[in-house]
Structure 1
Amino acid sequence: MPIYLGLDCGGSSSRAMALDHQGQVIHQGQAGSANLVSTPERRLRSNLLQATRECPGADFICGCFAGLLTEDDRHRAEGYLKSLFPTARVQAEPDYAAAYSASEDGTDICVIAGTGSLVCSRKDGQMRKSGGRGYLLGDVGSAFRIGREAMLHFLDHSSEDTGTLKETIARLFGATEERDVLSHLYQLPSPQSTLAKLAKTVGIDAREGHSYALNIIQVQMNLLTDVVANHADTYFSAVKDLKITLAGGLWQNAPQFRDAFTHQLEEKLAKTNLEVHRIVKPPVYGAVMLAKELAYVN
């Protein structure tokens, strides 16, 4: 009987899930990042191996990878999967395909905000995306961008009361003096992932009413809702009702993120009836569903 394996390979972690033909979970695994652009190949292979260790031999596999930008990236990712399960039928997709596939039925737009950010939909059988572009050029409204702004605020206003931000920076970087923090930051293999961890603290401080945190959330959610509104105008211009699913770790940090996002989007799409809710199933489940679809493709 067939076994279906899905992998959600992100910039911070990788997750694997396998289902048998009856839909029972027979494997779950987790490891470090497997971003095709930013994770060194040796570490990427090691993390994929760790996430799938002790998984029974899979027949159909879909790996959804952060950093999958080109057809060359797709072939390379499928090669990694084949090296783990040589007899399986494999497919590689961008990581956002997993989140969209895991979204509730009827979802029009999936807004992903984790370490990075991206907006996506499925139209005419094809995935359509807006935003993204990575931490150097985009990822507005992401945990990284929020954490980056928090770090800049702390360095520029270190004498101010910034709630729990100072103690979080001390824990993550082992220091609070600017020169020591910067030295540590620029030696990290993935500085964007570490800065993204500050987003949780921003949410906590926003809940306590700290103005720096509230301002960061307002600015970043404004930028993210701009991307969503433009996406809606491009792909759903004639639609009066939109169902939007929020995926990614940012939305779990504090209700202030979702509240600010929803309020600003309602203002920008004032003529559209919006239904905004958080994803229920994990993106790795969406990767498994894509693996199951492989069984029906000639």
Structure 2
Amino acid sequence: MRKKREMQILLIILLTVALICGCSTKEEQNNEQKVEGVEIEEDTDTYRFVDVLGNEYEAELLDIPPITQNLTRIEDQDGKKFYLGEDGEIASRLGIDVSEYQPEVDWQQVKDYGVDFVIVRLGYRGYGEAGKLVEDSMFRSHVEGALAAGLDVGVYFFSQAVDKEEAEEEAQFVLERIRDYDIKGPVVYDTEEIKNDTARTDDLDGKAFTDHCITFCDAVKAAGYETMIYANMKWMAFTLDLTRLTDYEKWYADYEPLPQCPYEISMWQYTETGQVPGIDGNVDMNLWFL
């Protein structure tokens, strides 16, 4: 009888140990929440990502609106990505962005391939001390050709503003040049980290870059146009103050298989090496979520 009781006690101990180990394993598995494309540390309020060179980063997860798309519903068909809604229907638009680096474009071929919209570089501010505003040499040709083919058109401006006055000047430079066109797509403000060169914005901090985004976008919105801010994950994580930019849509650049951004985005630039009939060489391709 005593031996039987000892066996019962031993069995209870073994079951208890197994239960504790099982819970521990489950806790370890759940400690790290992995959404396709976004890796979030639940207990530490951080997330991890890689840049275009494969460098790994960890950043604080901000208390701002999260990404709303179910990234597992992004499909790829021969380089053309699309997003499926809950009803299984396509809930996205396919687009490209072009500049003078794509000098010859057969816009009808582009449209026939399935491209819905194009974002054309309108211009840029030079890196030098003078910071001269320059219109992209193909801006007008690209806009007119795309519109004639029935594509929706937006524009972007590459900024090198060093203060809010220059950001306002950039906005007015853009508005003066789009008023004669039927611009239905977004007017985008593009600030970036400048690598392998000296830029007039090298000494700016995140507050200044964020101020310039707000100044430009508010001027564009006041003129009646849709606006967006272009940025990659590193720029969002460590430079822009996203807590001040929740009222502005984001055009997010990330060449990983799925977006790594944990925050709300409107458009995803998913490759810089796209191949589209009617365009010689590579072209940036974009997915606009509806």
TM-score of the two chains, using structure 2 as the length reference: 0.30
More helix per residue: 1
Higher relative contact order (CA 8 A, sep 6+): 1
Rg larger in structure: 2
More strand per residue: 2
TM-score of the two chains, using structure 1 as the length reference: 0.30
